[in-house]
């Protein structure tokens, strides 16, 4: 079973959106397990929690050897603000993972895939 961790290095998602995504994944992709990190629902100003919360959640998901991929819940420039520290915090477990995101998350994705 493939396992995807969802974190929010930029802006938060709502529990309702998370529930819809989980329901869709369960209905359409029986071999997929989505783990939505609680940090996705945090809020500090425009962001999904403080920079420390967002950084910690991303590094936790990326370094988890049981996770096959990490999906950025939403776009936004918050990912740019933690990118340098996020890349520095990665371990060997993060090397072979897939990372998915869009919008301003591309800045961090560029560092992950270089």
Q: What contacts 23, CB < 8 A, 6 or more positions away?
A: none
Classify domain 2-112 at the CATH topology level.
Answer: Rossmann fold (3.40.50)
Task: Tell me the domain boundaries of the chain.
Answer: 2-112
pTM equals 0.94
Q: Are 83 and 109 in contact (CB under 8 A)?
A: no
> Which H or E run contains 3?
strand 2-7
First to last CA, the chain: 28
Model confidence pLDDT, tens digit, residues 36-95: 999 999 999 999 999 999 999 999 999 999 999 999 999 989 999 999 999 999 999 999
* Contact residues for 94 (Cβ-Cβ < 8 A; gap 6+): 62, 63
Residue 114: how many CA atoms within 13 Å on its side-chain side?
7
pLDDT tens per residue across span 13-36: 999 999 999 999 999 999 999 999
């Amino acid at each position: 079973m493939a396992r995807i961790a969802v974190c929010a290095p930029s802006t938060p998602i709502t529990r309702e959106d998370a529930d819809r995504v989980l329901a869709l994944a369960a209905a359409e992709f029986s071999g997929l397990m989505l783990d939505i990190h609680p940090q996705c629902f945090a809020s500090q100003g425009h962001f999904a929690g403080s920079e420390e919360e967002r950084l910690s959640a991303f590094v936790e998901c990326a370094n988890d050897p049981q996770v096959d991929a990490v999906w950025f819940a939403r776009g936004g420039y918050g990912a740019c603000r933690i990118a340098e520290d996020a890349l520095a915090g990665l371990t060997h477990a993060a090397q072979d993972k897939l990372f998915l995101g869009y919008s301003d998350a591309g800045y961090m994705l560029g560092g992950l895939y270089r």
